């Protein structure tokens, strides 16, 4: 039965898909296992140290003379989670972190400052910045910070208190009031929140050494989906979509990994709406039947990283069944294969447009893509987002399901390099076999390849349906040949 999970139906068919480099992995995806918790912490702390070396350059780029984050236990600034050590599970007491440009380690050695200090050096630019880190619950904190600020004399002290951007607005309202009162004049008057990109760029930046593990997590996500959408898990006529969702949760737990959202499995109906089917699946799970096109939206959380994948599957009816596709060796109806290929075309459009668009806004990228879709008559929706420390991470969004012209605020952000993105979209295609238009939602994660200045698939992208094969049926020689 294992062999059933190795087989996907060939779906690539159009010139544009064949013209692009082969991006659909040919070998079956494998499960990866995590090292011991202690080793995981070491891996994550090395990534953290690597990312912190960008802080000197970010302070300069964003004109910050200081960057101040302050929080009370359980009311953390959003950026805290990207700065914390692996063995920190929350902030403690009042935890206050201050960055200033340059090497001010001498202040950290003065009797008046008890903060832990660390000098961050960017090997690329030679720039440095100093981190002051207080865990305190006495007014002495403010006296010490005043002493540091007096020595540094920053004109602009950036805080994360933007109005509409979650990753740049993590300073709690009460804490902001406490900081203003504690620092007093003139420092309270120098707090600014007009530089939201400082926090966003820090949280968004994915350092190169993360990629190796990110790829393993993506492959593991594919492995879970491949197994879920196979006859090992699905028995047509009795297994429900909810059964598959919970199987995926348990399978992740067995892998010592978790998720950032409940997996969603649904049957995409001919003619019906995908979002409607997804919403219905929340309240009443469908029993999976022969001939169903399955959809899954699935994410893994491990090592402080998140993945986001949407794939399609097909439940192959047994030989002799009226729904069995009759077109030669293909087990999936041609109309469905055409739909997946159309989704692949929108993926290429999004990824290639993004490769030309570093520094441009998410809305400009969206409008470029929509113009091509209008010209070529391609129907669908685009809604890509940043991913990494969070499932929906810091950075420009490129469309949302309900906003296909422009997305306020989040769509105005610039596309940055050195990020991970989730290319998320759906194609709408008329399927002759069902005399109906169907939606083909797909999602796959990409990373910025600085060597080629292009966005690349982290693991690959789906070009063939996952197949739930009928009992007793495994991949025939015709399919094996097709693989070549």
Ligand X SMILES: *[C@@H]1O[C@H](CO)[C@@H](O)[C@H](O)[C@H]1NC(C)=O
Please report, as ranges, the residues that interact with ligand X according to CB under 6 A. Answer: 33-34, 103, 105-106, 119, 121, 128, 255-256, 435
CB 421 within 8 A of CB 403: no
Q: Which is nearer to ligand X, 160 or 226 (CB)?
A: 226
Q: Produce one character per residue of 309-337: b if its CB has 16 or more CB atoms within 10 Å, e if not.
A: bbbbbbbbbeeeeeeebeeeebbbbbbbb
- The contacts of residue 481 (CB under 8 Å, 6+ apart) are none
Which among 293, 211, 208, 213 is positioned nearest to 257, based on CA atoms?
213
Q: Which of 82, 63, 312 is nearest to 206 (CA)?
A: 82
**Three-state secondary structure string covering the chain:** CHHHHHCEEECCCCHHHHHCCCCCCCCCCCCCCCCCHHHHHHHHHHHHHHHHCCHHHHHHHCCCCEEEEEEECCECCCCHHHHCCCCCCCCCCEEEEEEEECCCHHHHCCCCCCCEEEEEECCCCCCEEEEEEEEECCCHHHHHHHHHHHHHCCCCEEECCCCCCHHHCCCCHHHHHHHHHHHCCCHHHHEECCCHHHHHHHHHCCCHHHHHHHHHHHHHHHHHHHHHCCCCCCCCCCCEHHHHHHHHHHHHHHCCCECCCCCEEEECCCCCCHHHHHHHHHHCCCECCCCCEEEEEECCEECCEECCEEEEEEECCCCCCCCCCCCCCCCCCHHHHHHHHHHHHHHHHHHHHHHCCCCCEHHHHHHHHHHHHHHHCCEEEECEEEECCCCCCCCCCECECCECCCCCCCCCCECCCCCEEEEEEEEEEEEHHHCEEEEEEEEEEEEEECCCCEEEECCCCCCEEEEECCCCCCCCHHHHHHHC
Smallest gap from residue 262 Cβ to ligand X (A): 21
C-beta separation of 165 from 134 below 8 A: no
Closest CA to 121 of 216, 54, 168: 54
* Rounded Cα gap, residues 113 and 450, in angstroms: 41
């Amino acid at each position: 039965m294992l062999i059933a999970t190795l087989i996907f139906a060939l779906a690539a068919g159009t010139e544009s898909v064949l013209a692009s480099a082969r991006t659909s992995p040919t070998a079956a995806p494998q499960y990866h296992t995590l090292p011991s918790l202690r080793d995981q912490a070491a891996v994550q702390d090395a990534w953290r140290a690597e990312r912190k070396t960008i802080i000197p350059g970010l302070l300069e780029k964003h004109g910050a003379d200081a960057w101040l984050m302050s929080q009370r236990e359980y009311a953390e600034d959003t950026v805290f989670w990207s700065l914390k050590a692996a063995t920190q599970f929350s902030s403690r007491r009042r935890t206050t972190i201050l960055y200033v440009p340059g090497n001010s380690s001498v202040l950290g050695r003065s009797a008046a400052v008890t903060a832990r200090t660390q000098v961050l050096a960017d090997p690329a630019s030679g720039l440095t910045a100093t981190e002051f880190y207080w865990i305190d619950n006495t007014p002495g904190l403010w006296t010490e910070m005043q002493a540091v600020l007096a020595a540094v004399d920053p004109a602009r002290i950036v805080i994360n208190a933007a109005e509409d951007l979650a990753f740049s607005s993590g300073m709690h309202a009460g804490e902001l009031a406490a900081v203003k009162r504690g620092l007093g004049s003139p420092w309270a008057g120098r707090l600014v929140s007009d530089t939201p990109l400082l926090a966003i760029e820090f949280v968004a930046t994915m350092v190169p050494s993360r990629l190796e593990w990110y790829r393993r997590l993506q492959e593991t996500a594919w492995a879970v989906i491949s197994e879920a959408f196979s006859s090992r898990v699905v028995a047509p006529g009795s297994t429900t979509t909810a059964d598959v969702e919970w199987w995926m949760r348990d399978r992740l737990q067995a892998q010592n990994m978790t998720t950032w959202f409940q997996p969603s499995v649904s049957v995409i109906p001919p003619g019906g709406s995908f979002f409607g089917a997804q919403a219905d699946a929340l309240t009443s799970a469908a029993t999976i039947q022969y001939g169903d096109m399955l959809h899954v939206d699935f994410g893994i959380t491990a090592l402080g990283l998140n993945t986001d994948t949407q794939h399609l599957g097909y439940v192959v009816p047994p030989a002799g069944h009226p729904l069995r596709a009759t077109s030669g060796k293909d087990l999936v109806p041609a109309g469905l294969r055409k739909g997946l290929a159309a989704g692949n075309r929108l993926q290429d459009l999004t990824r290639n447009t993004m490769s030309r668009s570093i520094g441009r806004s998410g809305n400009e990228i969206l409008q470029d893509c929509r113009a091509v879709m209008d010209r070529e008559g391609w129907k669908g929706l685009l809604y890509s987002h940043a991913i990494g420390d969070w499932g929906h991470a810091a950075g420009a969004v490129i469309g949302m399901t309900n906003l296909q012209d422009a997305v306020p605020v989040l769509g105005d952000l610039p596309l940055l390099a050195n990020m991970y993105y989730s290319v998320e979209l759906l194609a709408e295609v008329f399927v002759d076999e069902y005399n109906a238009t169907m939606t083909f939602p797909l999602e796959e994660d990409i990373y910025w390849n600085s060597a080629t200045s292009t966005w690349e698939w982290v693991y690959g992208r789906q070009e063939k349906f996952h197949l739930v094969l009928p009992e007793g049926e495994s991949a025939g020689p015709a399919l094996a040949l097709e693989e070549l």
